[in-house]
Amino acid sequence: MKHRIVIGVVLFEFLILLFLFAYGQISIADRKDEIVNKKTLVSHLMLTDLAIWTEARYTRHPSQADIFTPFQDFPSSIEHFPAGSILAPPDVIKGSAKLAPPYVIKGSAK
């Protein structure tokens, strides 16, 4: 009997997810003009990134922050903003990005 309840709950959640996906697609189709207008405004004003979080400046615009900004208060402090645990570290820190010529660190491999 319990397995029927679990299956019913999973199916109900799947139906809700399917409904939300369909509603999102319909909403996008209805708002195409608004989306085009916003894209035009962003390109006209030359805006950089979307500010997702308002907590700390290094989570507001990740592409604009340097690699030491999260540690400016205390170098070994624990991350106290929830967005800092969701936001992935930049490619420069992970070592997968190549640094541009002005930012090449002396003694590093090219």
pTM for this prediction: 0.39
DSSP state of 105: P
pLDDT, average across residues 52-68: 66
Kindly state whether residue 108 falls inside one of the protein's structural domains: no
Of residues 3 and 99, more confidence is placed in 3
Give yes or no: residues 61 and 98 share one domain: yes
Is the pLDDT score of 34 beyond 80? yes
Residue 70: burial class (beta carbons within 10 Å; 0-12, 13-18, 19+): buried
How much is the pLDDT for 68?
66
Length reported for the chain:
110
Domain residues for the domain of 79 are: 57-103
Residue 52 lies in a domain: no
Q: Does some domain include residue 51?
A: no
Mean of pLDDT values over 26-53: 81
Q: What are phi and psi of 92, to 5 degrees?
A: -65, -40
Mean pLDDT, range 102-110, rounded to an integer: 53
35 and 11 in one domain? Answer: yes
In terms of domains, do 6 and 38 share one?
Answer: yes
